[in-house]
Amino acid sequence: MYTEINNERRYFLIENSDSKHIGFPKGHVEYEESEQETVIREVFEETGLTAKPMQDFRSEYSYIGSNGHHKTAVYYLSRYDYTNASIQQEEISQSWLLSYDEALKKLNYPQDTVVLKSAEEYLNEAE
């Protein structure tokens, strides 16, 4: 998730209330829902923001969750029109709107830094 304020790109990060994972909004696909529909729904449920996923930027990685199950996280780079977030207190303890360099420092999972670096490269090439 990113937006622009005064022509400066800012990335939206959240902290999960339970795991303290600092990363990007995400969630589970519901029955017969596309990945992009999941992005739009989950981002809105967790933050009140309207995501506009980019179809040509998709990133994924696999990991083992705290319960020992294999999981795959899929991310679409998504733009949103700047507005204040309304975070879902049950799932998110904090949120930030940060520059690329600040966001890189704030992320606490190495896989997420790879996603962010890829997103920044993609956006810079598109300019």
**pLDDT tens across 73-108, in order?**
899 999 999 999 999 888 899 999 999 999 999 999
Cα angle: 101, vertex 107, 113; to 5 degrees: 75
The torsion region of residue 99 among left (phi > 0), alpha (psi -120 to 50) and beta comes to beta
CB atoms within 10 A of CB 83: 11
Q: The whole model's pTM is what?
A: 0.92
C-alpha 65/C-alpha 49 separation (Å) is 27
| pLDDT, tens digit, 9 for 90 and up, residues 43-76 | 999 999 999 999 899 999 888 877 888 988 899 9
